Structure formats: structure tokens, C-alpha cells
């Protein structure tokens, strides 16, 4: 009963990062974690420094052995997941077993990452693939910079409401 109360306390009162560390996820410095979906083997996940993991991102360290269990009742296999430094993982992405992500990587929202990727790329899709590189991203989006980081909510809202249309990103 005491363990159940402790588990509930962790789930509702600890930050996502503190919770992740408590279940064995290795996390570097300066990270922002907004998910609690680290699978059944969270101790096989390593996250570098300055990584942002947004909401509903899911990690899976195993899977699919079920279809072989009638023939091999004890089969199980696992893959470590390693996320490099300075990585952004967009909402609802899924990171599958055995994946390594390099440094300076952007993973687009909703991506299903089924294989490893090198540093300095932008990936997205299902399955995820390289769609650009970070240098092109920097060159493109610097022209849209509004330097709103640190503004209070009201000032930011006023700026955005009164901003001319050409200053917004268009796809």
C-alpha cells in the first residue's frame, strides 16, 4: 500500500524530469522534459544535455516479440535509445528500440523514428527521414526572429496581434 501511495505521489507531484530520473532515465544538464512515456525499460534510455522533449513523446525499448511467442515462449529483445546534445523532439513523436540521435537534431512533431540519425539534421515523418539540415533551418528562420523570449505574456500578445503579416512564418 505504501509503495502505491509513493507511486501516486511521484506521478502527480514530481516534475516530469524528476520522475524520469527516478525510474532510471539518464538525463543530462539543461533539459526540458514534458512526457512520462518512457516504456517498461526506462533505464535503457540516455538523454544528452540541452534536450527538449515535448508533450506525449513516447519511447519504446522493445516490441513485436509477441508474434513469435507461440514458437519461442520466452523470446524478448531490447534496444537502447540514445539522444545526443541540443536536440528538440516534437509533440507526439515515437522513438523506437535501438535508435541513436546525433547532436543538434530537430525531430518534427508526430514523427516515428525507426532508425538512427546523424548530427545536424532535421527529421520528420512516418517513418522519419531527413528533411533538411540545421544550417538551412537557421538561415531560413533567422529572418523571422522576433526576440520574444523573456517577454511577459501581455507584451508578447500585443506584439503578435499587431505584427504585420509578412513577419509570420508561411508554409
Catalytic: which of 26, 36, 58, 62? 62
Q: Is the preceding omega at residue 127 within 30 degrees of 0, hence cis?
A: yes
**Cα 9 from Cα 62, distance rounded (Å):** 27
Active site residue 62: yes
Residue 51 corresponds to which cell in the numbers above? 534536450
CB-CB neighbours of 52 under 10 Å: 16
β-strand partners of 105: 87
Q: Phi first, then psi: what are they for 156, rounded to 5°?
A: -65, -45
End-to-end alpha carbon distance in the chain: 53
Give residue for cell 541513436.
100
Angle at Cα 49 formed by Cα 44 and Cα 51, nearest 5°?
80
* Residues with active-site annotation: 62
Amino acid at each position: 500500500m505504501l509503495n502505491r501511495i509513493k507511486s501516486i505521489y511521484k506521478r502527480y507531484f514530481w516534475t516530469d524530469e524528476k520522475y524520469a530520473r527516478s525510474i532510471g532515465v539518464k538525463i543530462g544538464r539543461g533539459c526540458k522534459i514534458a512526457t512520462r512515456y518512457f516504456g517498461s525499460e526506462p533505464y535503457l534510455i540516455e538523454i544528452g544535455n540541452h534536450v527538449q522533449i515535448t508533450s506525449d513523446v513516447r519511447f519504446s525499448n522493445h516490441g513485436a516479440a509477441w508474434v513469435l511467442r507461440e514458437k519461442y515462449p520466452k523470446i524478448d529483445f531490447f534496444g537502447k535509445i540514445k539522444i545526443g546534445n541540443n536536440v528538440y523532439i516534437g509533440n507526439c513523436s515515437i522513438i523506437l528500440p535501438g535508435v541513436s540521435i546525433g547532436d543538434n537534431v530537430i525531430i518534427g512533431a508526430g514523427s516515428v523514428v525507426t532508425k538512427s540519425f546523424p548530427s545536424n539534421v532535421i527529421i520528420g515523418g512516418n517513418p522519419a527521414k531527413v528533411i533538411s539540415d540545421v544550417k538551412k533551418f537557421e538561415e531560413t528562420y533567422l529572418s523571422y526572429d522576433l526576440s520574444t523570449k523573456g517577454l511577459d505574456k501581455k507584451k508578447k500578445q500585443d506584439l503578435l496581434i499587431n505584427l504585420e503579416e509578412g513577419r509570420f512564418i508561411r508554409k
